[in-house]
Structure 1
């Protein structure tokens, strides 16, 4: 008898993402079941219902996926799920809140590829400024880059206090070093980017983080990537379709949101398929997403 692959998709928000539902079904899941408004304290009971409803040798055919809009909460839900497992009963576990894990992974993979192709450099060779690091995509991009050895500056648009708390959280959780920086004015942002090699703009959609004059004044800049596809774009002078395109007036190359998008989708699709094809239960977060995305980018 064929055992169906079933994905239980949980989110703390009002709705489960239709994007993720479509992606999971296209990846090959036989059934994708949405659960909205899930609180942390409900995770254990739901997960144990998932694992105890099937014999241990069929646990790998069940999966739990966490969505939402909070990168850290999704990691906490993964940990709660792992604690809820009762061996030999198990299941696959994955998170991708607001697509942030796979988007950040794809973006950093594109940056890594561009550094190699255009400048013969690696992530460990550069300083990266991440704008929007309190958000889901920026947070994950900052952590991925720091784990790969980059010197990472996380920029606070509203001053130093909130971003400093986020930086301490990153450092405690992942054993990395990131530098919080005040980016609350154009003058401070201009001064900051004079000493960085890579810029990641992951601020809220429709907000311009940096203007063309600022980018052209960043003499050390090698690569700039913009996660925003909603006008005005996050970095003036980078088109949404740019993929290793020269940025006018600089020696740098730009990566636009719609160049990152296809790789993000392939990464999420690939992780979902990995769970379907696995012989042993998987636990997948943004680190696994980056490992896959960099193979897609090479």
Structure 2
């Protein structure tokens, strides 16, 4: 039988959706995992059995070359699945687990870390106490960004284009799950959007790709805007005037001359590095780790700090 050091690196990839994300498969392979096995339509109750099937077959040494990745689209379910997997471990049979549903944890981490950086660089202020409006805030990235920003002391408004009730529902879910305080706001009509923009100092656009949630005319109402950040890389831009390559560039058309924009590729660059580093940490750390959105945020902050040095 080959020595444990010769055994391949195996990653078991759980998703509650019908397919595992090709993006995450590629990222895991580039981080050194040699055998990648997707398990689709996995529900929370199946996680314990799958996890224990993965940990007992390779021995206490072999588990160091085994990992679990949890994807999907539901950020709350993914967090619960991570806890289920963690509780299923039987030391010394214990493997590392990393969750990043729809890339939401690493994308939101990059978004908030860059907003922190540019608030400090352009305005010499922190995110704490700032009014943050998250357009498209009921989606996966918006929910996680809301949790991260609120945990830093920001006054976070989770916006829904569909209705006030939807915004309130999602805000309440986030608050209960992460023990934070956010509010839900409706931005479906121009008057509603303009009212919220007038209060906002930071705007995150986290709506679906290819949808513009803030036009040039809307931008004129954001009289207190310091930072506008957009995760949408598919034309048209989610926020008018924010180019995908912008990384703290002055925002054309903004009411304040010192407002700056952060585009999708600048955010994506940090997101990519964060996900790669987390996969590497899981594979090479030598001991089991459990990686969720707090660890993604720490990684993104470290990357952004390195850019500034």
Structure-2-length-normalised TM-score: 0.93
Whole-angstrom distance in 2 between the partners of 1:37 and 1:180: 31
User: 8 Å contact 2:241–2:253 — kept in the other structure?
Assistant: no
Whole-angstrom distance in 2 between the partners of 1:57 and 1:31: 17
**Structure 2 residue 200 is the aligned partner of structure 1 residue 196:** yes
- What is the CA distance between 1:242 and its match in structure 2? 1.1
- What is the CA distance between 1:142 and its match in structure 2? 0.7
**Structure 2 residue 31 is the aligned partner of structure 1 residue 17:** no
What is the DSSP-based 3-state SS (H/G/I as helix, E as strand, rest coil) of the residue aligned with 1:123? Answer: coil
Q: Deviations over 1:198-238 (max 9, x none)?
A: 00010111211111122132111000001111122211111
- What is the CA distance between 1:192 and its match in structure 2? 0.6
Q: What residue in structure 1 maps to residue 55 of structure 2?
A: 51
Count of residues in correspondence between the two structures: 298
Unaligned runs of 5+ in 1: none
Whole-angstrom distance in 2 between the partners of 1:217 and 1:130: 16
Match among 84, 87, 93 for residue 88 of structure 2: 84
Match among 140, 157, 160 for residue 156 of structure 1: 160
| Structure 1 residues 209-288: aligned runs within 5 Å | 209-250=213-254, 251-288=258-295
Whole-angstrom distance in 1 between the partners of 2:159 and 2:21: 29
User: 8 Å contact 1:128–1:150 — kept in the other structure?
Assistant: yes
Q: What residue in structure 2 maps to residue 68 of structure 1?
A: 72
Q: Deviations over 1:111-161 (max 9, x none)?
A: 111101101111114110111221111111111111111111111211111
- What is the CA distance between 1:261 and its match in structure 2? 1.0
What is the DSSP-based 3-state SS (H/G/I as helix, E as strand, rest coil) of the residue aligned with 1:46? Answer: helix
Whole-angstrom distance in 2 between the partners of 1:124 and 1:265: 26
What is the DSSP-based 3-state SS (H/G/I as helix, E as strand, rest coil) of the residue aligned with 1:113? Answer: helix
Whole-angstrom distance in 2 between the partners of 1:235 and 1:132: 12
- What is the CA distance between 1:8 and its match in structure 2? 0.7
Whole-angstrom distance in 1 between the partners of 2:91 and 2:210: 47
Whole-angstrom distance in 1 between the partners of 2:30 and 2:94: 24
**Structure 2 residue 102 is the aligned partner of structure 1 residue 98:** yes
User: Are the structure 2 counterparts of residues 290 and 194 from structure 1 closer, same or farther at C-alpha, using a change threshold of 3 Å?
Assistant: same
User: 8 Å contact 1:132–1:139 — kept in the other structure?
Assistant: no
- What is the CA distance between 1:166 and its match in structure 2? 1.3
User: 8 Å contact 1:200–1:225 — kept in the other structure?
Assistant: yes
Whole-angstrom distance in 2 between the partners of 1:79 and 1:285: 10
Q: Which runs of 4+ in 1 moved over 4 A?
A: none
Whole-angstrom distance in 1 between the partners of 2:93 and 2:234: 45
Unaligned runs of 5+ in 2: none
What is the DSSP-based 3-state SS (H/G/I as helix, E as strand, rest coil) of the residue aligned with 1:100? Answer: helix
**Structure 2 residue 193 is the aligned partner of structure 1 residue 186:** no
**Structure 2 residue 302 is the aligned partner of structure 1 residue 295:** yes
Structure-1-length-normalised TM-score: 0.96
**Structure 2 residue 211 is the aligned partner of structure 1 residue 207:** yes
Whole-angstrom distance in 2 between the partners of 1:131 and 1:217: 15
| Structure 1 residues 27-38: aligned runs within 5 Å | 27-38=31-42
Whole-angstrom distance in 2 between the partners of 1:19 and 1:207: 22
- What is the CA distance between 1:63 and its match in structure 2? 1.1
